[in-house]
Amino acid sequence: MGLVEDVASRDGIIASMQDVAFKQFLFLRNLATPLVDRFGIDPSQRILGRAFRHYGQWRGENVRMSQSSLVSGHDALAFLFNWDSCDFVLANLDRQIAVSGTPVEASLTLPYLPGARYFKSRGTDCGIVSQYWSELLAGMAKGYDRNLRNSLAMTAMDGDCVITTRYSGKPAGKVSAFDVATRIREVFDRPAEALAIVRQTSRNAGALYMFVAREIIKAYDATGEQLVREGVRAIGRERGNALKEKHLREGKPLNLKTLMLDWDGPLVSTWVFNDDGYLSEGTWHQDCIYCPYADVWGAFGPEGLSLGYLYDVELHTTMYETYHPGAVVRWDELKTRGDYLCKFRISIPELMSPNDPEYPRQ
């Protein structure tokens, strides 16, 4: 991925989709861990529960406002048809999902609970993942339509899980269970739609961070902010170490050229950069035109931008320095400071050559 992301092939789009789907649970685990370690599981679950419900309501409102939802109308199957992330699509690659029911009551069966495998692989309690899904579904129902109710049932954390949705209003009846299953199964036949889902999943991850951070800070003020910063740094360390270990295994030199050409995210389809950047072993200068996270944070005004700025500073400094301790992170402009662009000006001074542009000085 990174600056050479493949957006033309099915495999390339799947790789981008898998990355953005993973990020939402990477955020969740690393933000929740400092909170649980400091205050215990019960207070933490109350705080996280509020965040998940608000986040779910925001997502439900987005589903309600989507053009596809306006066409399909509202009912149980229409809600599933217009689902706003790639969770169902990726689960279907593991094993074909089952969709059944009517516009009044429908169910969708997944082969696993998204996120549980990652939590388990890191030795983290999966209870937060099941709480996340339960509260998310409840919040989405509230944001989508007051007549909708969602529930989640599981056989085990690593087994089937069933999302059931019930609609007590007058159903539109324009979508069948077959339509839902077909849209999920055949999304890669429509690359533009698949890439739109990748971008929307990224927007969702940015929103999840913001809603969780906001609730932690509301509960514990300055101590809450410290916990959020600790969580974001943990995200940066996990990502930086994973890239560093990958490149060492592959025998690649640890420099900015290696890092940005094989970044752990879709920097073509989702984060959009201009074409006149400069990249060498010791220097990366390029302007970001579109960031899905900043797109969400800006919609929440000064509070959203402030939380976004906290993320930008802690994530980027930690991630780059983890990958290479000599990295220096700078921006000429930054969306979370209220600017139109994010002008990245990253360097590793010891790896710079005489031909590399210096950081611009006033």
Beta bridge partners, 284, equal 279, 346
Quote the pLDDT of residue 362: 42
pLDDT digits (tens, 9 = 90+) for 83-116: 999 999 999 999 999 999 999 999 999 999 999 9
Question: Angle 233-197-113 (CA atoms, 0-180°, nearest 5)?
Answer: 65
The domain locations on the chain are 10-202, 221-351
* Spatial contact of 191 and 13, defined as CB atoms under 8 Å apart: yes
Instruction: Average the pLDDT over 257-276 and give the result.
Output: 94
pLDDT digits (tens, 9 = 90+) for 324-337: 999 999 999 999 99
Query: How far apart, in whole angstroms, are the C-alpha atoms of residue 49 and residue 125?
Result: 16
Query: How far apart, in whole angstroms, are the C-alpha atoms of residue 69 and residue 80?
Result: 10
| Topology match between the domains 10-202 and 221-351 | yes
Beta bridge partners, 342, equal 288
Beta bridge partners, 161, equal 110, 154
DSSP helix/strand/coil, 128: helix
3.90.550, 3.30.70, 1.20.1380, 3.30.1380: CATH of 221-351: 3.30.1380
Q: Confirm or reject CATH 3.30.1380.20 for domain 10-202, answering yes or no.
A: yes
**Phi and psi torsions of 147, nearest 5°:** -90, 0
* Spatial contact of 197 and 16, defined as CB atoms under 8 Å apart: no
pLDDT digits (tens, 9 = 90+) for 14-66: 999 999 999 999 999 999 999 999 999 999 999 999 999 999 999 999 999 99
Beta bridge partners, 162, equal 109, 153
* Alpha-helical runs (H) found in 250-286: 256-261
pLDDT digits (tens, 9 = 90+) for 135-150: 999 999 999 999 999 9
pLDDT digits (tens, 9 = 90+) for 158-211: 678 999 999 999 999 999 999 999 999 999 999 999 999 999 999 999 999 999
pLDDT digits (tens, 9 = 90+) for 222-246: 999 999 999 999 999 999 999 999 9
Which residues, 6 or more positions from 238, have their beta carbon under 8 angstroms from its beta carbon? 26, 30
Quote the pLDDT of residue 205: 97
Query: How far apart, in whole angstroms, are the C-alpha atoms of residue 222 and residue 116?
Result: 31
